[in-house]
Chains A and B, each alone.
Chain A
Amino acid sequence: ETGVTQSPTHLIKTRGQQVTLRCSSQSGHNTVSWYQQALGQGPQFIFQYYREEENGRGNFPPRFSGLQFPNYSSELNVNALELDDSALYLCASSIRNTEAFFGQGTRLTVV
């Protein structure tokens, strides 16, 4: 148990729709990062939030956006879903510049 919880655990969406994924960080952690993991691949960094501001972004288009709230929980929003967005989405929380702990992930399927 890492103390990082994600919801929902599974989700099916239609191409073109929008989706919001949620993450509650471990108590005391002020940094949340989001990763996309395609089948058979390692996780790929999407972006990170520190104290409610985006603090680094990977090679993902603007239709991937996020938020961090005052309690350090976070949301990942994806607009105009494409079939290739089907993946396991992982949230990781940390105290800045220390090791990250991951949630169980949200499995998104786009049909």
Chain B
Amino acid sequence: GQQLNQSPQSMFIQEGEDVSMNCTSSSIFNTWLWYKQDPGEGPVLLIALYKAGELTSNGRLTAQFGITRKDSFLNISASIPSDVGIYFCAGQLYNTDKLIFGTGTRLQVFP
């Protein structure tokens, strides 16, 4: 099935460090979403972006909707142990609720 290109695939960082991950697509999307998924659980919505160039924050998380509408990035500042999990980007076309997900970034945080 179709998946967006997400990088890096995995990250191992120390508590307190900043993290950056990004997502690229060959298609244009009208909405970009970032989700976090813990093992055996459903994805939890972190941030939603609706306009090209939009920069949105949610606590220590900041995400941007790329100008070309084909990419997005997510930054996590001052990481803590509970940030551990798999982060997925997802693109959504206008007038459809279908989400195309990225391949995921697995984040490990060491104390």
> How many A-B contacts are there with CB distance less than 8 Å?
73
A102, B43: Cβ atoms closer than 8 Å: yes
Which one of B44, B98, B101 has the highest number of Cβ atoms from chain A below 10 Å of its Cβ? B98
**What residues make up the interface of A, taking CB atoms closer than 8 Å to B?**
2, 4, 6, 31, 33, 35, 41-45, 48, 50, 55-56, 58-59, 88, 90, 92, 94, 96-97, 99-105, 107
Which one of A33, A42, A45 has the highest number of Cβ atoms from chain B below 10 Å of its Cβ? A42
Q: How far is the CB of A107 from chain B (nearest CB, A)?
A: 7
CA of A44 to CA of B44 in the docked complex: distance in angstroms?
16
Question: Which B residue sits closest to A107, measured CB to CB?
Answer: B40
**What residues make up the interface of B, taking CB atoms closer than 8 Å to A?**
1, 3-4, 31, 33, 35, 40-45, 48, 88, 90, 94-104
Quick one: given A42-B3, A59-B1, are A100 and B40 in contact (CB under 8 Å)? no
Question: Which B residue sits closest to A42, measured CB to CB?
Answer: B101
A56, B98: Cβ atoms closer than 8 Å: yes
A100, B95: Cβ atoms closer than 8 Å: no
22 intermolecular pairs with C-beta atoms under 8 Å apart:
A2-B45, A35-B99, A41-B103, A42-B3, A42-B4, A42-B102, A42-B103, A43-B88, A43-B99, A44-B1, A44-B101, A45-B99, A59-B1, A94-B97, A96-B97, A99-B33, A99-B48, A100-B33, A102-B43, A104-B42, A105-B41, A107-B40
CA of A48 to CA of B93 in the docked complex: distance in angstroms?
14
Which residues of the partner chain A approach B100 to less than 8 Å between Cβ atoms? 45
